[in-house]
Amino acid sequence: MVRFLVVVLASLLACGDDAPAPPAPEAPLDVAALLASRRVDWAADERARAIEEGRAALERHECSRCHSFGAEGDLGHVAPAGRSDHCTSCHQWLKGMQPGDRHFDLLASRYGEDVVRRYQRVIDHYQEVPDLHRFAERIEPRWIDEFLREPYDLRPAMGETMPRLALGDADRRAIVRYFAAVAGVADPAAGPAAGPAAALVAPAPSPAALAEGRQLFLTRGCVACHTFGNLDTGTSRDAFTRASLPTRLAPNLRFTRERMSRELVVAWILEPTELLASTRMPKLIFARHEAERLADFLLHADVAVPPAPAAPSLAPPPAVERAVGWAEVKDRVLGRICVHCHMNDHERDLGPGNEGGFGWPGSRLAMRTYEMLVRGAVDPASGERYSVLEPRPGQSEAPLVLAMMTRRHEELRDHVAAFEDHARPAYPTVREGMPLGMPLGLPSIPDDEVALVRAWIAQGCPGPTEVTGMPGITDGLLVPDGPIEPNRGCERRDPADARPSWADQPPPAWERPAERPSNERPSNEGQSNEGQSNEGQSNEGQSNERSAERPSNEGQSNERPSNERQSNERPAERSSNERPANERPAPPTEGARTERRGR
């Protein structure tokens, strides 16, 4: 027995000579060293010039209405738009209020809780947008240039997408150089355009490595947020439609190979917050070799997507066969979506569809009230106003309906649902008779709403039958609206000099300047009162929301909100002929315009 045990022990010891050694511990990923290896030496004056020129282009095209570019003091920081213009900040603030919060209770006491609830109920878009701080540290400048030229739907769980900006070549290059200069990576203007990302010219991984990466993608949590083309991940389209806000930011990973190098993909999988502190991407439990296999799959696996569908017809759906009034059209269509780009001339933010924005000229079209809608838009070529409710020469549909239908052509590129991925076609050309589709970056107006608008137009564009809104309010959902003379007709007509009684009422008591004792000297006596009508009042909640209107003058108390997100917000400047926010508006006149300032 003893001899048997000795033989067994000797055999085991002998086998140990042939057994594989345990794998050596993997070296931790040094993200700082990786980023340092990508940096190049910029001449100080050239880098400063690139940052300033790019910052100016970003401000000119209003990128800070949604995106953030670092904190104040960071290299290349771009100040966020003020609260009255910042879509994302306002939506987050409004959506987050609850009864018992100071601002919720204040707004509810002034406007009614039902109004506040309506805002919260319809807010869906522009609650989360990518943080662009040091963007080119992780994303290839070459891809940034291509995306700015023709953006596409990168995030299938997000209903909105990057609007198509009217960027000229010079501004586009300036923005790309800005990102490169802030990150300290190679100047894209210093030489010929970069070729394919390094990962795509490296030797392809083995089939076994790709299979391992695919399995990791499907089983280690990635598919909770991401898609990869139309790969079946066991998640439904409906689940993505109901996705939480962090999931909405998750990109379709079939585009990773165009956006990132292999080493940065690995770093992002292992240490996402070291590349972007504010990222919603969680740190998953991957060994380094697993992250490399996953990167191989994302960068090299075959992505089979069908060609783009044929362009949809511009023929609108049939009009509904029933009576349709202004109140229904305003509530369901024009006042729910369109007004966020087409506000009235006396509001704090007129919207890019009225005064212009994102590089596009404004049409001077306002939709907050019936009176302003029938005033029409301005032809950019002639400078003359025309009705958007009657077909123009050579058109078979009213311009309003044509714009809604044109959006469907653009959606083939910038609104692609999860698991319905396809090749991205080029955008249609913006030309006479084929206008830019509306609303920019948002889903197109559905058939039932287009049919409603067509019926209203076919019935002669009847106006309001009752007065709505709150007397004296000059901004937001509760701007007064009511019958005018004539109160029917799709033809263009200017507002009457004699104002309707509903349009000339005093504001609520809490909106009026506080009265002073007769012997009290005003603190600003002898000084210009330019822009001081709301001094000390918060502009909290003033947004040009694309997906939900804001209550007028929201949160204008004498307290600064304790949860204010934008500590560097400055009061919006006003031109010398612009009325204070609590002054009743004069009848709009042709050519009246509030310029965008300080953005």
pLDDT in tens, 537-546: 333 333 333 3
pLDDT surpasses 80 at 563 = no
Rounded to 5°, the CA angle 562-76-70 comes to: 35
Domain boundaries, the chain: 36-183, 198-300
Beta pairing partners, 357: 360
Q: pLDDT of 301-337, one tens digit each?
A: 999 899 999 999 989 999 999 999 999 999 999 998 8
Mean of pLDDT values over 246-259: 93
If you classify domain 198-300 with CATH, what class do you get?
A: mainly alpha
Provide long-range contacts, Cβ within 8 A and 24+ apart, for 533-536: 533/580, 533/581, 533/582, 533/583, 534/571, 534/580, 534/581, 534/582, 535/571
Amino acid at position 412, single letter: L
pLDDT surpasses 50 at 593 = no
**Cα dihedral 204/205/211/213 (nearest 10):** -100
Pick from 206, 213, 456: nearest CA to 327: 456
Q: pLDDT of 61-104, one tens digit each?
A: 999 999 999 999 999 999 998 877 888 888 889 999 999 999 99
- Classify residue 332 by burial, with Cβ atoms within 10 Å: 0-12, 13-18, 19+: middle
Tokens linked to 538? 């918060």
Rounded to 5°, the CA angle 487-490-495 comes to: 55
Q: Determine how β-strand 360-361 pairs with β-strand 385-386.
A: unpaired
Q: Distances from the Cα of 141 to the Cαs of 138, 153, 218, in angstroms?
A: 9, 18, 30
Quote the percentage of the chain above a pLDDT of 70: 79
Tokens linked to 214? 């695919």
Confidence of residue 471 (pLDDT cuts 50, 70, 90): very high
Q: pLDDT of 16-45, one tens digit each?
A: 445 555 556 677 889 999 999 999 999 999
Of the candidate ranges 15-24, 239-248, 249-258, 522-531, the one whose mean pLDDT is the lowest: 522-531
Tokens linked to 553? 């003058």
Alpha-carbon span 88 to 68, nearest angstrom = 10
Q: According to the model, what pLDDT value does residue 412 have?
A: 93
Would you say 353 and 365 are in contact if contact means Cβ atoms under 8 Å apart? yes
Which one has a higher pLDDT value, 520 or 359?
359
Alpha-carbon span 537 to 105, nearest angstrom = 17
Confidence of residue 340 (pLDDT cuts 50, 70, 90): confident
pLDDT surpasses 70 at 357 = yes
Q: According to the model, what pLDDT value does residue 571 have?
A: 30
Alpha-carbon span 298 to 446, nearest angstrom = 35
Write down the mean pLDDT value for the chain: 82
pLDDT surpasses 80 at 273 = yes
Which residues lie below 8 Å from residue 470, measured CB to CB, with a gap of 6+?
A: 111, 478, 480, 508, 552
Q: pLDDT of 137-182, one tens digit each?
A: 999 999 999 999 999 999 999 989 998 899 999 999 999 999 999 9
Q: According to the model, what pLDDT value does residue 434 have?
A: 65
pLDDT surpasses 80 at 569 = no
Which one has a higher pLDDT value, 575 or 231?
231
pLDDT surpasses 70 at 586 = no
**Cα dihedral 106/596/57/564 (nearest 10):** -10
Alpha-carbon span 212 to 599, nearest angstrom = 49
Would you say 406 and 436 are in contact if contact means Cβ atoms under 8 Å apart? yes
pLDDT surpasses 60 at 557 = no
Q: According to the model, what pLDDT value does residue 155 have?
A: 94
Alpha-carbon span 374 to 324, nearest angstrom = 17
What is the maximum span of the chain, computed from C-alpha positions, in angstroms? 118
Alpha-carbon span 200 to 198, nearest angstrom = 5
Q: According to the model, what pLDDT value does residue 180 have?
A: 98
Q: According to the model, what pLDDT value does residue 432 have?
A: 65
